[in-house]
Amino acid sequence: MSQPLVPRILRPRRAAPADAVRPTRAEINLEALRHNLRVVARHAGAARVWAVLKADAYGHGAPAVARTLERGVAGFCVALLEEAIELREAGIVAPILVMGGHYGAAHDEVILRDLIPVVHDAEQIRAFARLVRAGLASGPIDVHLKIDTGIARLGVTMEALPALAAGLSDVPEVRIHGLMTHLANADDGDPGFTHAQMARFDEASALLGRHGVVPGVRHAANSAALLRGQALLDAVRPGLALFGVSPRVDSQALTRELKPVMRVRTELVSLRDVPAGGAVGYGGTWKAARASRIATIPMGYADGLSRQLSNRGHVLVRGARAPIVGAVSMDMAMIDVTDVPGASLRDEAVVLGAQEGPLGRDAIGADEIAAHAGTIPWEIMTSISRRVPRFYREP
C-alpha cells in the first residue's frame, strides 16, 4: 500500500512538563493505574480486558497510559481514528479497536496503521471491501460489527440486521471477526434493561450464525457491568474503573478497591484581605459576610475547573478545605482561606485528589466535584484540558 506523502490527521499539542511555567499540573500515579487493572482483571474472570482510552485516556494522557497497560491487556479501545493514530505514533503495537465508526475518507489509514475498525452499516463494510478490490489492502479485513440493542446511538438496528446479514456474502473481502454492543443503563439499580439488551444481542448473534457468521469475540460490558458481573462475554471494555472511579448503583460505589490515578494541584499565587461586604470575582456573585482572606489560584474553566463550581466547590490547602468563592474565570479562581491558618503564597492547592498537611488530611474525588457541578465524573476527568501538563510518577 502506498504511504501518504503528508500527514492528513493532525492533533492539538499537549502541554509538556518541560514547558510548564504555572504551578498547575495533573499528577498521574502509574502504580495506581496498574493496581486498578489488576482489580478489573480479577472481576473479568476469563474475559479478556480491552482498556478504553478514548478522550485522551479520560484525560490522563493516552500514550503514557497505554505504555503502562500494554502488557496487561488484550488491546485498547478508542473512539476516534485520530486517537488510534496517536497511539500508533507513540509506539503502541497492541490491537486497537476504533469504536466511533467514522473514518471519513481515511479508510486506508485504518488498514495502514493496523487498526481494527468498528462498522455499523452496510456502506462502511463496502468501503473497506473496495480497498481490497482496488489492491490497496489485502483481505479479508477483520472488523467488529456494532449492534444497537437499545441505546439508539450507533449500531445496526435489529430491524436492519437481517438485510445486512444476508448481504455479507457479497463482500467476502470483509470478515466480521467481532460483535459488540453498548449498554445504556448498566449502572441502573434495576438490571432489567441490561438483561433485555443482552437478550437482543444474543438474538443478533443467532441471526448472524444462521448466515454463517460466527464472530471470534463478542463484547458488551463497560466498567459498571463488569463490576456487577453482567455481560461478561469474551471480552470486557472498562474505562472509568481503570482510572480509579467506581461506577455507582443507587448512590453506592460498586467497589472500594480502586485507587484514584489523577491528582490535580496548583499553588496560591495571590493573597488579599477583603472587608465585610466586599465582592469577589466577575459579577460580584460572592460578597464577604465578614472580613475575609482570599487567595487566587492559577486554574480556571479553560483548564477544567468547571464554572459550575463557582460558590459551591472546594480546594484543599494545608490539608483543610477552602471554599471556591466568586465566579470561576477562564484562567483563575478565588478561594476563601480565612479558616485556613497559616495559608501563604506558594502553598499547594489541590483541586482533585488527596492532600496531607499541618491541618489534617482530606481528599476531593471526581464524584464529589461532579455532584457540585451537576454532572458526572467522566466529564470532570475528561475536562482537564491539554494545557495542563501531565506529570507521570511511580510512588
DSSP characters for 36-68?
Answer: HHHHHHHHHTTSEEEEE-HHHHHTT-HHHHHHH
Whether 342 contacts 318, CB under 8 Å: yes
Spatial contact of 53 and 65, defined as CB atoms under 8 Å apart: yes
Does residue 198 contact residue 169 with C-beta atoms inside 8 Å?
no
pLDDT (0 to 100) of residue 2: 46
Helix/strand/coil for 89:
helix
* 285-318 as b/e: b if 16+ CB within 10 A: ebebeeebbbbbbbbbbebbbbebbbbebbbbbb
Structural domains in the chain, sorted by start: 45-247 (3.20.20.10), 262-393 (2.40.37.10)
Measured N-to-C along each axis, helices 30-44 and 62-69 cross at an angle, to the nearest 10 degrees, of 60
DSSP secondary structure code for residue 122 in this structure: H
CA atoms within 13 A on the CB side of 101: 19
Give the H/E segment covering residue 392: strand 390-393
Question: Active-site residues: which are they?
Answer: 54, 282
Sequence-separated (6 or more) residues with CB below 8 Å from residue 390: 14, 17, 25, 26, 27, 28, 60, 61, 64
195: number of Cβ within 10 Å? 12
**Strand pairing category for 348-357 and 360-364:** antiparallel
- Say which amino acid occupies 158: M
Q: Where do runs of H (alpha helix) occur along the chain?
A: 30-44, 54-58, 62-69, 81-89, 107-112, 122-133, 161-167, 192-210, 223-228, 366-373, 377-382
pTM comes to: 0.93
What tens-digit pLDDT sequence spans the chain (395 residues)?
Answer: 444 444 555 555 667 777 778 999 999 999 999 999 999 999 999 999 999 999 999 999 999 999 999 999 999 999 999 999 999 999 999 999 999 988 988 999 999 999 999 999 999 999 999 999 999 888 899 999 999 999 999 999 999 999 999 999 999 999 999 999 999 999 999 999 999 999 999 999 999 999 999 999 999 999 999 999 999 999 999 999 999 999 999 999 999 999 999 999 999 999 999 999 999 999 999 999 999 999 999 999 999 999 999 999 999 999 999 999 999 999 999 999 999 999 999 999 999 999 999 999 999 999 999 999 999 999 999 999 999 999 999 87
| Dihedral, 203, 206, 210, 216 alpha carbons, nearest 10 | 130
Question: What Å distances lie between residue 242 and 56, 256, 264, 273, CA to CA?
Answer: 13, 13, 17, 43
d(C-alpha 350, C-alpha 315), whole Å: 6
Pairing of strands 262-267, 348-357: antiparallel
DSSP line for 289-321: SS-EEEEEES--TTTT--GGGTTT-EEEETTEE
